[in-house]
Chains A and B, each alone.
Chain A
Amino acid sequence: MNCRNIKTMFPDYLIGDLSQQEKLLVQNHLADCTSCRSELESLSSVWTKLGVLPEEEPGERLRARFYSMLAAYKQGLEQERAARSWGHAFSLWLERWWPRRPVVQLGTALGLLAVGLAAGFWLRSAPNAAADMLPLRQEMQDMRATLAMSLLDNSSASERLRGVNLSVRMDQPDERLLDSLLQTLDSDPSSNVRLAVVDALYLFRDHAGMRRRLSESLSRQTNPLVQVALIDLIVNLRERQAADALKALIESDRLAPEVKLRAQQGLETLL
């Protein structure tokens, strides 16, 4: 390093802001360079010399003047605030009280949440409130059913799957929706959609006529996966008519061997 580069580090050297490596660079250079050494010595001596100037305390008058200035300013500010409209005063009041520390903010937010939850719980448990809600719930159910049925009619398999999933979320599916689902089970071109319907209808197994209609559907299925799923379902439900449906299935030709095996096992379970 040349003298010019070394000298640019002198100010850092003075305030002790050099890394160990840089300090070493400077020291190595100084060992060989008399002119730089004497310059740094001279800079350092001035730097040290400045230390004779002591830190001094201002007079007490300064403090007194500051506090009277602050008090006057505060008073002026308050008068200005009082003169403002009530709406503004209210928002200033909020601003004043709204906590600034994140921890306190979080605490306040959680507190308000708890109050909200408690109020919600109380309203929910009030009987006439529930009665008020009933028509609204019914309306929601109807809307959902309509949406699900229109999705089941969609030409896209993924939309039809959405329709099946939406049906699953209904507490009380109406007759029209169940018809649509069974229709889909019998005739949907996509085996994925049909499988999803098998799963969905399991949830509505206690609906009048559902078990019988599931058994009837078995004879109309051709895909082995759907057949197996349906066999498992009706065996699981211990539907009396299921035995006949299984027998009929076993006797039919064009049946995959593994499906036949599953149907026979199911039949044994039922009998």
Chain B
Amino acid sequence: MTHKGTATFIAQRTSAVILLPLAIWFLAGAVAHAGSSYDEMRAWLATPLNAVLMGALILAGAFHMRIGLNEIIDDYIGAGARGIFKLLNLFAAAGAAGLAVYSLFVIAA
């Protein structure tokens, strides 16, 4: 994140604040559906509110986790391999986000 320190700092804090209420919603939903069948769980996730909140959780989470792992890569990976690791990080985060958005569209449709 060379030369973009302040923007990255703000992006990480903003996504953190967005993730806090979403994490509470997610844990509450997970506890409430601990005993649910597949159909009950899917019906819950298919409602517009829950599908949007789950999408927001995974999108904001993917954004936040990419910045966090990039910071760890900066700390512990030497200059030579750093770029490759950051590219893999982007692919993993974007892949997780894309897969979830596609899946939620299918579930909510």
Are A and B a genuine interacting pair, yes or no? no
Interface residues of A (CB under 8 A from B): none
